[in-house]
Amino acid sequence: MRLLLLCGVGVTLSACDVSGTHTLYRNSVLDSTARYHISTFDSSDGDKYNAENCQIAADLFQQQPGVRTRFWCEKGTFRK
């Protein structure tokens, strides 16, 4: 109940995602502000597990030779 009250005070509900879901995004070579959805990590194993796997995937994508885009993870489900 307290969490819902905190979320209601000037914060959108999407920022209060307590599900443990994490989403992997990338930008574009032509537009560094673009947000392209790559994958969603929503295993029932919890927040830490999903966060770690998302970060591992981001690092693996980022380390490929010739990659000029940026990969990152955000807590929560896909948002444009």
Residues 6+ apart with CB under 8 A from 40: 21, 22, 23, 24, 77, 78
In the chain, where the domains are located: 16-75
Distance CA 67, CA 70 (A): 8
What is the assigned CATH class of domain 16-75? alpha beta
DSSP 29: S
CB 52 within 8 A of CB 3: no
Q: Which stretches of the chain score pLDDT less than 50?
A: 1-14
- Tokens 């307290």, residue? 2
CA dist 26 to 4, 13, 17, 72, 75, Å?
30, 23, 21, 6, 14
pLDDT in tens, 14-36: 455 568 999 999 999 999 999 99
